[in-house]
């Protein structure tokens, strides 16, 4: 392989690679379901006769599903992995 040098990886590099692989897998499996939630909620919200109270709740459901999709996208763009210490006892990665 001319022009390429072997790149050594650190445990942090491997952890980041694992986070990206998990993120891509989650995006693949969950974004389709989230899109279905949004589509169905929009149909219900826009249906004739849908009460205003229900429309407001459906608006929140749509916003929550879109926020979940955005979070999934953020995980895939993580450049550094840090343990989130706000939740003792849980091994969470800080994706903010």
Q: Is 89 inside any structural domain?
A: no
User: Which tokens is 12 given?
Assistant: 């942090």
For the segment 65-96, what is each residue's pLDDT rounded down to a tens digit?
999 999 888 888 888 777 677 878 877 766 65
- Say if residues 93 and 84 touch (Cβ distance below 8 Å): yes
Q: Is 42 inside any structural domain?
A: yes
For the segment 15-68, what is each residue's pLDDT rounded down to a tens digit?
888 888 988 998 999 999 999 999 999 999 999 999 999 999 999 999 999 999
Q: Is 54 inside any structural domain?
A: yes
d(CA 65, CA 59): 10
User: Which tokens is 77 given?
Assistant: 């763009």
Q: Is 48 inside any structural domain?
A: yes
- Residue 44 is predicted with a pLDDT of 97
Q: Is 2 inside any structural domain?
A: no
Q: Is 93 inside any structural domain?
A: no
Q: Is 65 inside any structural domain?
A: yes
d(CA 84, CA 96): 10
Q: Is 91 inside any structural domain?
A: no
Count up the domains in the chain and report the number: 1
Q: What domain range includes position 54?
A: 11-76
Element (H, E) at 35: helix 11-46
User: Which tokens is 20 given?
Assistant: 């990206």
């Amino acid at each position: 392989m001319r022009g390429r040098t072997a790149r050594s990886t650190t445990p942090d590099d491997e952890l980041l690679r694992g986070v990206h692989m998990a993120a891509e897998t989650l995006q693949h499996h969950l974004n389709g379901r989230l899109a279905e939630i949004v589509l169905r909620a929009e149909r219900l919200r826009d249906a004739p006769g849908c009460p205003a109270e229900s429309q407001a709740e459906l608006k929140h459901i749509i916003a929550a599903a879109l926020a979940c999709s955005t979070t999934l996208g953020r995980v895939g763009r993580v450049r550094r992995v840090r343990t989130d210490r706000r939740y003792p006892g849980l091994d969470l990665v800080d994706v903010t």
